[in-house]
Chains A and B, each alone.
Chain A
């Protein structure tokens, strides 16, 4: 079955935030932001801006009736700056005007008096100054310190991975309406409606029941709208409360890029020890996470880096320590993978480092150390239903890894200025919110008297197809056609206290809740059928909208049954709650059972580098992936393809550039490049591994959102392989993304870099045009 939404998407009929018909009297908001990355806010003068045509009101921190605080994990983030500014783009005030043009035009007339303070953009420098968001965390298994002596080979190094702009094509936004009870109703483009509700209530000084948040769908999220949709929702809500008029706030692209946080850049140290059989004996890593100016989700992202510090490998002695470092960048935040990719990049760098120094292929080390059933991960959860070796071996056999390697070698021998590279990237990703309490969800299911069904959950549809999966779960559980099921908008008044749509767990959590609600309804209806048809309840089913007794039509249909239930005054609504069983984790000892299950897979990546120009193409990414029993192969394949290409983008083109003053230079789509049609791999094969799935996965269909992003890491190492084919002695630092610039500079490390170093046949005068000469 296909994703249900696209039939509307392709006709342009799906409604996103900016498509909502504008209510009469709406004010348009524009955000006044800090022009410096760190400073003391001495004065804020809005008088001139208030005189601009169309300007109705300018809101500052002083106008906040409740608390000026939107920090989720740590209360360290004001909605509007007071006293100090901590990053460039930090909201300072909100202009409300009769039109978007008027609001934007007034921005330059707001005068900010800021005394600059020193700016830190480097996480290691921040750590050295003690600027940590939370105390450092260490995950420990065995005793790495004692293990080095027993290692045949020990290697150390540094690995750095860059940030990543989410680049959801729909920018952040919210549309708030005052309600008659003194609260607000907010339509928000958020992955976390409850976060918007909770923080807006706090800012407005009202109960959460006075703030309704509604989400129909997002034009992409990827983690960027998990916590960072909140400021815009709260600002719009504040504007609506203060003016008693609807307020619409939609960020333009460059404002969105300037003001919102991104994937965390990391700088990390690693040390790896192997025995003579290439078994990894010990691993130590120290991660310096660039958290930006406030906590946001950084502590949780940091934790997941540690959870995935050893990727798919069993290592008996591990010490992994992580520092969340406060810098003067916008607060960095969730992004597909949530710190996991950053952790995996480091262990893969360590393995590549060892392999290169030992003169081996990295896969020699990777394959020998894959997780097996019952192996302990560094947080002491054993693997259960481990498919690491199955994924690797299936990919290697199906795609003929030895032949691929041979082809690369032969090609490289035959070509001087073009080289190919190959890398294998196995993954293991834990599914659940690592904050155990968040692994709960509710579903509200109504059956209407005509037999149609409305399902409300906490899941937010952002392209991942969760609504289609919810509809499938409801339809399959009730035994009816999916066309009878409508998945409603995500609304805090229908389903309360939701976890954000994140951690790949949305379909599992909300799907399980939907399944429970539908089962309860089904049981209720079948008990009625048993009474009415004078049949045994056991053995009754609904299939294809027919009531069956022991598999045979029992003379009733879905519609009849529903109608009868109404007239018998039997409830046709059900609200169910699901909490993932068995989970626990102790954040003091860093041990426990945090994940419902793990997802496995392996990608083989081949690239081709133009060694004259330093440009490259990803020729093929061939994946074997553990979906379990996929509920929707079309949607799941799309998640793998899209995730892999997003990961390739992170590892290749997507380069965030901040200057020393904390100003984002890659601040628009013309200077920050995500993959286009031609930068996607020419071949992208996805093989569905034959795996049983997991009972904690919805209908044994495993979570699929985040894991594929990490296949992209293989592209980095394949490029490295190709560069080394041209330049075996290249002293390549482990530094992602591998932009064409890095490729070329590594291909020609000895190239002269200053004009004086170039030998010249004649002295020249610099001439620009003949007009001058």
Chain B
């Protein structure tokens, strides 16, 4: 069973499109949602947490529609992106009050809140007012309220933002342990290495569309189906360009000082041709061949371009 299933989901804010005809299936485990600011990550998160209703299509979470289905929130914990709190409350009061909204008694809620604060390493500041917390502490107390009721699915919107390196490492460890304990996490970020540290399973989103979904290797394969850019610094770039233009697999060309930048639809064929040309030495020396697609970060930048 998929954790989240979206079928042709679109969301408009008036004339502005937030999410465009998205169909996907998120498997159990930890999934990273990658995309630049304004890509539609928050819209997706809000749809998944039932704060927004799809303008079109259908979205289910844990097998049930989420919109106007409060019962499902027993199974979901959500840590929103925004830095918003009841500032006058202490961390413990705030988390307790929110846990109480899940039912149960006061004592059980206090215990759960204390446990959650301990998990995010905030026990020592539990009785301090949230207004006096640092940015990192605020992120952690937000995490605590999301996981205090021990949900099946944890949805974290930019959870590491503002955390110091130690807290960041602890939080990443916490998320990985959460996943290892058989529960699921969806975590959004615009920083790839954060996601890489947590999971290999990612969703790439940009301009309201899911560009790719799967693990890092699948993403890499997907890259090959997209135009591939190669930067060639050479003695005679214009002569090289003339050769490339004769080939079907070259999609576009442009020049930069002593270099030519080629976009190809068939990287394997292109690299073979380039190797042959370099070996023949007929068109001068080829100094350097680079591709911006040489790691996952480049893949992300490439796909969201």
A, B: real partners = no
